[in-house]
Structure 1
Amino acid sequence: MSKLFIGFVPIYIVRALGPTLMEFTSGLSWNTDDAALRRKFEEFGTVEEAAVVIDKETGRSRGFGFVRFSCDDEATAAMNEMNDAEFDGRRIHVDKATDRRSAGGSRSGGYGGY
């Protein structure tokens, strides 16, 4: 597992299970919701799933989310264009997701509580 900080938002790189590529997106605006994330990434292809991770206690965004594409080429194009780009008033980080569960030592398991 890799851990990197941008501002106060830790970036955990996680890998999705299955044949399609999932991207980890961090640095999201607290106002970005699932629909806005999906709309933005649909500019690059077919989005199977887009989810902003919500804090269970506060009900607010944790500032990161995941996007799953139906095609690896579309996911790669989105990652190349959107990494370090401005979205919803914030500069975001987009990377391939990796599975933290197989890295060992993770107490929360899986997609950062997702």
Structure 2
Amino acid sequence: MSIYIGNLSYEATQEDLSQVFAEYGAVKSVKLPTDRETGRMRGFGFVEMSSDAEEEAAIEALDGAEWMGRTLKVNKARPRQSNDGGGGGRRF
């Protein structure tokens, strides 16, 4: 399972998030997606922890908490949707 963290400050780093979530257990990974064009952080991230119990504790404690001047949105990450449809033009 992975945790989704929304409404992150654009100043937040992987190390910052790792330190915050380490209070609730062992952090396995932190991912902060960046915009392809600007290279700037997109304002959300994902944290993976060692156990579901640790992740649940972090979600419960941090959802709605203020951090770096922003109110965090923290919940279980949903599986990525496959984009099978594809947008293409009409074929004649």
Structural RMSD (CA):
1.7
- Long gaps (5+) in structure 2: 87-92
Query: Secondary structure of 1:44's partner?
Result: coil
Structure 1's consecutive aligned runs of 4 or more residues displaced over 2 angstroms after TM superposition are 104-107
Which structure has the highest strand share of the two? 1
Query: TM-score, structure 2 length as denominator?
Result: 0.85
Query: TM-score, structure 1 length as denominator?
Result: 0.70
Partner of residue 37, structure 1 = 17
Is 1:49 paired with 2:37? no
Partner of residue 41, structure 2 = 61
Amino acid at match of 2:33: V
- Long gaps (5+) in structure 1: 1-20, 108-114
| Identity between Structure 1 and Structure 2 (%) | 37
Greater RCO, CA 8 A, separation 6+: 2
Q: Provide the rounded CA distance (Å) in 2 between the counterparts of 1:77 and 1:106.
A: 37
CA deviations on 1:14-40 (whole Å, 9 max, x unpaired) are xxxxxxx21000000010011111111
Q: Please tell me whether Structure 1 or Structure 2 has the larger radius of gyration of its CA atoms.
A: 2
